[in-house]
Amino acid sequence: MRALRECRLYGIIDLGYIPRLRDCNRVAEQMVTGGVDLIQLRGKGKSIDELANLAFEIHEITAQSDTPLIVNDHAEIAAQVPVEGVHVGQDDDSILIARQKAGRDLIVGKSTHSPAQAHTARGEGADYIGFGPLFATPTKPDYKPIGLDDIRQVHLDLGIPIFCIGGINIDNLQQVIDAGAKRVVMVSALLKAHSIVDYARCATDMLA
């Protein structure tokens, strides 16, 4: 499986943007073809059984290309499906509890919204962090953007992979890279692209 430190573009299959669950496999295939390095399945409001079934199907696709699959929030899914990791938010299970629920060694990432939260997550044992939202994002409209000023310093301080997130698209990606980002997460920009494959390839070229 691709090492976390080698990953640059993190795509999220957010079911809020994919109304037909049967389309998830197609989206996963397109992300893999486009060169997305790391994929997360996120389905707010969906049952654990629904998400577990989807994760199993998607994992069969991602495993063929050594692309790690991360499930959002529900670490217990990782006890049923051989996904590579779990992602938790500030209000979700702790990293320790997530690992206990999974019942095995796996990647655990955490969302952070400030340098202080980023430092705390590293201290809790996060394998990577999401840092943002950098810009206003329709995915999480209630979160205030944190901007670009802290990106470079957080990278210097933490020493673990940092994936910048929040409103990132092809139009502002170079600005994010220039601010010190090495890895980014794309959600709505990627899922709403006319061609997920072409959009991902453009992003990975810029991140290379």
φ/ψ (deg, to 5) at 91: -105, 10
User: Is there a catalytic annotation at residue 42?
Assistant: yes
Tell me how far CA of residue 123 lies from CA of 72, 116, 128, 141, in angstroms.
20, 11, 11, 28
List, for residues 107-141, the tens digit of each pLDDT value.
Answer: 999 999 999 999 999 999 999 999 999 998 887 77
No. of helices (H) and no. of strands (E), the chain: 8, 8
Catalytic residue, candidates 42, 99, 110, 183: 42
User: Is there a catalytic annotation at residue 22?
Assistant: no
The highest-level CATH class for domain 4-207 is: alpha beta
User: Is there a catalytic annotation at residue 46?
Assistant: no
List, for residues 172-199, the tens digit of each pLDDT value.
Answer: 999 999 999 999 999 999 999 999 999 9
CA-wise closest residue to 110 among 137, 50, 70: 70
List, for residues 78-90, the tens digit of each pLDDT value.
Answer: 999 999 999 999 9
Report the percent of the chain where pLDDT is more than 70: 100
Catalytic residue, candidates 101, 140, 182, 201: 140
Catalytic residue, candidates 99, 110, 111, 183: 111
